[in-house]
Amino acid sequence: MMLSDRDIRRKMSEGLLIKPFNEDSLQPASYDLRAGESTVIQPKAFALVGSLERVEMPLDVASILKVRSSYARKGLILGGGFIDPGFRGNLTLCLSNMSDKEIEISYGERIVQMLLFRVTSPNSMYKGKYQDSNGVVKAKL
């Protein structure tokens, strides 16, 4: 079940953390994550951009990330994009510019939609190497 804006607000009092929370980022069935830094992504290149928000997912919530449609129309795509229950930290957004023009992203701009889903019968939480990420975190292979 996808969480609505009402569900997201309720979950924020039950363990979901989105900080700093921006009222303008709350959509009818998603939350728009903002860029934690300004950057220019060159044509046919990618950049790692940290989310402004720190998130903490409770045991019964997972999330899928998608580029906002206004950026997708410019040629931006997102690599990765899943948040497990129990994850804590800033998100590193792996953004690729598939267009022939530079794409500018300003600090605080809403760039990625976070779609939240209820996890039925939760059993375990994320304990991976990106737990408690702060800012951009490069690949830990």
45: number of Cβ within 10 Å: 13
Beta-carbon contacts of 131 under 8 Å, excluding residues fewer than 6 positions away, are: 87, 88, 89
End-to-end CA distance of the chain: 33
What is the model's pTM?
A: 0.91
pLDDT at 52 over 80: yes
* Each residue's pLDDT tens digit, 67-112: 999 999 999 999 989 999 999 999 999 999 999 999 999 999 999 9
Give me the domains of the chain, ranges plus CATH numbers: 5-118 (2.70.40.10)
Place of tokens 């009818």: 28
